[in-house]
């Protein structure tokens, strides 16, 4: 018969942080640091206190969650797609210049800057 056991017990403290009161990441981190120091100072039988967080990718232009198609192009807004296209063109241009430099004679200096 299958049995389960509980292990790796821990206490999770979630600070009361509200977006309209804590507008910056540094402010939220400072609140967590104060709570961490208070726990270390006032609570016995604690082996470790650390701050942890979740991350979420989002578009800097429209604020939507980050999603890409199979080629890596963002799906959220036109501005992000235009930026991706421009970066892709820059990358291809640099790679073309590097390929052209490799075609020169061995040990020659590639003087034509892209």
Sequence spans of domains, the chain:
9-50, 68-114
Model confidence at 16, pLDDT cuts 50, 70, 90, reads: confident
Q: What is the pLDDT of residues 85-111, one digit of tens each?
A: 998 887 775 555 555 555 554 444 444
Q: How far is CA 85 from the centre of its chain?
A: 21
Share of the chain above pLDDT 70, in %: 75
74 CB burial (10 A radius; 0-12, 13-18, 19+)? buried
pTM here? Answer: 0.53
| pLDDT computed for residue 99 by the predictor | 52
């Amino acid at each position: 018969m299958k049995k389960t056991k509980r292990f790796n017990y821990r206490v999770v403290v979630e600070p009361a942080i509200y977006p309209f009161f804590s507008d910056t990441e540094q402010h939220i981190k400072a609140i967590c640091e104060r709570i961490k120091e208070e726990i270390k100072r006032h609570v016995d039988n604690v082996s470790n206190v650390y701050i942890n967080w979740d991350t979420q990718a989002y578009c800097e232009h429209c604020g939507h969650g980050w999603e890409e198609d199979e080629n890596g192009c963002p799906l959220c807004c036109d501005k992000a797609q235009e930026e991706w296209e421009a970066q892709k063109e820059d990358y291809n241009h640099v790679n073309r210049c590097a390929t052209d430099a490799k075609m020169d004679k061995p040990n020659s200096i590639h003087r034509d800057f892209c």
